[in-house]
């Protein structure tokens, strides 16, 4: 029987050895962390956006000298999009949706007010570095239209709008390729996509940009779908959002006359009527003047913001629809917005913690309890909320994508999240070699319009 080999003798592991090993591990860990941080680009670091909810690598952007962070959570490290913008001359009928039946509605007339986002997003995309002139390279396709403004200014009626959209869509082979899934439409008002009466038949798969997330008050169905559509900020007057001299500058909290204000028309809406009645009961706390929006006593833009800045809280109830521009306007006079619209959707919820910059109060509880609650909030907390709001209000400003913090940049980030690399529809089929064909096995590049609409 062979002799067994005995293991070599070893030094026993003492408590001193254990402590030394743990110390070595700790030193190695912290040295590695320091090296990682020194090699990380200056534009990416770990931080919080607002509140304590977003701990991840972020990209730094600047606004008025204050750092704002976009977390990579849900977005990624950079925008990588190619967007094709349809030209007004390439599709018969598109000019109708831009300028009306006689071509008299000019973009300059449509850029202000809540309709302005249709014009601004189009113009910004035309100059964007993410624009492509090749349809075959595009991730997304933008269909320009100023139709809300055109309708309100008498350039088209509802029937003409419907006919114009159908005519335009019938000439878009790339719309057929995906069933419209990669096509973008902007509808800037409370009516949303309902402005196009047949939206449910023709663009129910498309990406809709709208400030309105709920429009079921007068219709059986909402055109907004959280899976595919994007909520965009309202269009605040440029005189309040541009850097430099604004119409109105904020007042210190100590110099504001009212606890809260509501500036708007009743429109027969219960919540608004309740606020107007509450202001009559407590005129020293809640301002709700009878405002003239037409005629010789029409309220001017500057006067409107002078009223708005004179309270600590700006109340934003729903009107004809659930969204309200006043929510966004309040950030530029630095009053804390109080959202009194239960079904309102807000933009960029992946990166903005709205509980840190605003208050949402049940619309069924409008009354003295609301005023008592607002009175109970100390000014120190209000200053903190206003400071947070000052940091992120750049997201409500429609500036170019060269400005990393803007409504347009935020929309581009959201569009990237909506982009799906493989766009299929019931009318598209694919073969083993990657060819896209129709039901007759004709390859896509040989398709000829018009094709059947979905």
**Residue 311 CA to its chain's centroid (Å):** 26
pLDDT of residue 395: 94
pLDDT of residue 215: 56
Question: Across-strand partners of 208?
Answer: 185
The contacts found for 16-19 with CB under 8 angstroms, 24 or more apart, are none
Please give the structure tokens belonging to residue 387.
């400071």
pLDDT of residue 30: 46
Is the CATH code 3.40.50.2000 the one for domain 238-395? yes
The DSSP output letter for 112 is S
pLDDT of residue 255: 97
Please give the structure tokens belonging to residue 291.
């405002």
pLDDT of residue 103: 94
H/E stretch holding 209 reads strand 207-210
Q: What angle do CA 265, 320, 165 make, to 5 degrees?
A: 130
Q: pLDDT digit of tens for each residue in the chain (454 aa)?
A: 444 334 444 445 565 665 555 555 555 544 444 443 333 333 222 233 333 333 333 334 434 444 445 545 556 678 899 999 999 999 999 999 999 999 999 999 899 877 899 999 999 999 999 999 999 899 999 999 999 999 999 999 999 999 999 999 999 989 988 889 999 999 988 788 889 999 999 999 999 999 987 655 556 677 888 889 999 999 999 999 987 678 899 999 999 999 999 998 888 889 999 999 999 999 999 999 887 767 777 778 888 999 999 999 999 998 877 888 999 999 999 999 999 999 889 999 888 999 999 999 999 999 999 999 999 999 999 999 999 999 999 999 999 999 878 999 999 999 998 887 777 778 788 999 988 888 899 888 787 766 667 6
H/E stretch holding 26 reads helix 15-39
- Cβ pair 366, 274 in contact under 8 A: yes
Task: Measure the CA–CA gap between 388 and 404, rounded to whole angstroms.
Answer: 18
Farthest CA pair distance, the chain = 118
Q: Where are the domains of the chain?
A: 83-235+415-426, 238-395
pLDDT of residue 157: 96
Task: Measure the CA–CA gap between 317 and 368, rounded to whole angstroms.
Answer: 16
pLDDT of residue 154: 94
Task: Measure the CA–CA gap between 114 and 120, rounded to whole angstroms.
Answer: 11
pLDDT of residue 68: 47
């Amino acid at each position: 029987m062979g002799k067994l080999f005995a293991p070599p003798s070893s030094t026993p592991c003492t408590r001193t050895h254990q402590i030394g090993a743990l110390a070595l591990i700790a030193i190695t860990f912290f040295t590695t962390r320091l090296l990682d941080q020194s090699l990380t680009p200056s534009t990416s670091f770990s931080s919080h956006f607002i509140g304590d909810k977003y701990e991840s690598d972020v990209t730094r952007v600047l606004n008025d000298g204050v750092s704002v962070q976009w977390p990579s959570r849900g977005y990624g490290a950079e925008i990588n999009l190619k967007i094709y913008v349809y030209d007004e001359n390439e599709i018969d009928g598109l000019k109708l949706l831009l300028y009306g039946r006689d071509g008299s509605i000019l973009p300059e007339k449509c850029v202000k007010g809540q309709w302005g986002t249709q014009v601004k997003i189009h113009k910004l995309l035309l100059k964007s570095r993410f624009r492509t002139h090749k349809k075959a390279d595009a991730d997304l396709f933008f269909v320009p239209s100023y139709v809300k403004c055109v309708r309100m200014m008498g350039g088209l009626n509802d029937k003409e709008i419907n006919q114009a959209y159908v005519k335009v869509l019938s000439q878009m082979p790339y719309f057929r390729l995906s069933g419209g899934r990669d096509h973008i439409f902007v509808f800037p008002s409370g009516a949303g996509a309902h402005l196009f009466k047949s939206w449910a038949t023709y663009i129910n798969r498309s990406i809709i940009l709208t400030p309105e997330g709920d429009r079921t008050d007068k219709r059986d169905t909402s055109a907004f779908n959280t899976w595919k559509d994007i909520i965009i900020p309202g269009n605040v007057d440029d005189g309040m959002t541009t850097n430099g001299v604004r119409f109105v500058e904020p007042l210190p909290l100590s110099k504001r006359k009212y606890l809260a204000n509501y500036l708007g028309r009743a429109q027969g809406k219960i919540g608004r009527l309740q606020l107007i009645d509450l202001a009559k009961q407590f005129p020293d706390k809640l301002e709700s003047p009878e405002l003239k929006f037409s005629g010789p006593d029409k309220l001017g833009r500057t006067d409107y913001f002078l009223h708005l800045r004179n309270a600590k809280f700006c109340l934003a109830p729903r009107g004809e629809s659930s969204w309200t521009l006043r929510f966004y306007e309040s950030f530029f006079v630095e009053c804390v917005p109080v959202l009194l619209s239960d079904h309102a959707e807000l933009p960029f919820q992946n990166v903005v913690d709205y509980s840190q910059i605003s208050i949402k109060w049940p619309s069924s509880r409008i009354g003295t309890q609301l005023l008592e609650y607002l009175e109970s909030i100390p000014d120190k907390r209000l200053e903190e909320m206003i400071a947070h709001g000052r940091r992120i209000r750049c997201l409500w400003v429609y500036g170019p994508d060269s400005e990393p913090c803007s409504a347009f940049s935020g929309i581009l980030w959201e569009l990237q999240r909506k982009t799906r690399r493989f766009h299929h529809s019931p009318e598209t089929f694919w073969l083993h070699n990657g060819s896209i064909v129709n039901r007759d096995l004709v390859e896509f590049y040989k398709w000829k319009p018009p094709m059947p609409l979905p």
